[in-house]
Amino acid sequence: KNEVEQSPQNLTAQEGEFITINCSYSVGISALHWLQQHPGGGIVSLFMLSSGKKKHGRLIATINIQEKHSSLHITASHPRDSAVYTCAVKGLTSNTGKLIFGQGTTLQVKP
Amino acid sequence: ETGVTQSPTHLIKTRGQQVTLRCSSQSGHNTVSWYQQALGQGPQFIFQYYREEENGRGNFPPRFSGLQFPNYSSELNVNALELDDSALYLCASSSTGVAGPSYNEQFFGPGTRLTVL
């Protein structure tokens, strides 16, 4: 079993829909990233979280440290949101910047 | 502020050859991490460089080696290339304080797509 699990693996939505992507992890962490990667593009960091909730535009990320779970929400989704969304964690026992990645969620938003 | 840059963007090599990939860290960042992302997989940590020394390594053989230069840029070298080395190689830079390695947000470069034939 992977240390970081995401669901769903694939997601298709209609423009305007509210989208939730989930991330569960089994290790103690000091921080969690949500990352976005468009087809053929590089990785962009959307959020870095260690507690609570962060919001940027139509994107909201939450984390529950006790439950070892984080969610990424996209409100009023748009075709340009189509990308792979990945959560990655930095383990508590690691003294490097090593990130452990989930397998990614491929999102397609149809107009 | 200059972001993380990588070169080249694409590279094709044959099995057994050697390759060098380059990464320039974001302005003000002194730590570089390298990741390998095979097609359809999440990135896997290769190693991290801080103060020109390797600071942590993932499950990769010794033919994967690196360097960090005084200007904090970094190289990833892979010897004796194998077909399975075909992947997107990502570097990420971050800043580390004088107290030593600690976790700060990593910023990723666009990656180098390596194809081994």
DSSP state of A80: G
Report d(CA B9, CA B23) in Å as an integer. Answer: 11
% of residues, chain B, pLDDT over 70 = 91
Question: How many Cβ atoms are within 10 Å of B56's Cβ, its own excluded?
Answer: 17
Is residue B99 pLDDT above 70, yes or no? no
Q: Is the dihedral of CA B46, B51, B52, B53 positive or negative?
A: negative
Q: Residue A45 and residue A42: Cα distance in Å, rounded?
A: 10
Q: Is residue B102 scored above 80 in pLDDT?
A: no
> Of the candidates A45, A102, A103, which has its C-beta nearest B107's C-beta?
A45
Strand pairing of B112-116 and B10-13? parallel
Chain B residues close to A98, C-beta within 8 Å? 33, 45, 48, 56, 58
* pLDDT per position as a tens digit, A11-33: 999 999 999 999 999 988 988 99
Tens-digit pLDDT profile for residues B16-63: 999 999 999 988 888 999 999 998 888 999 999 988 898 889 899 999
- The mean pLDDT value of chain A amounts to 91
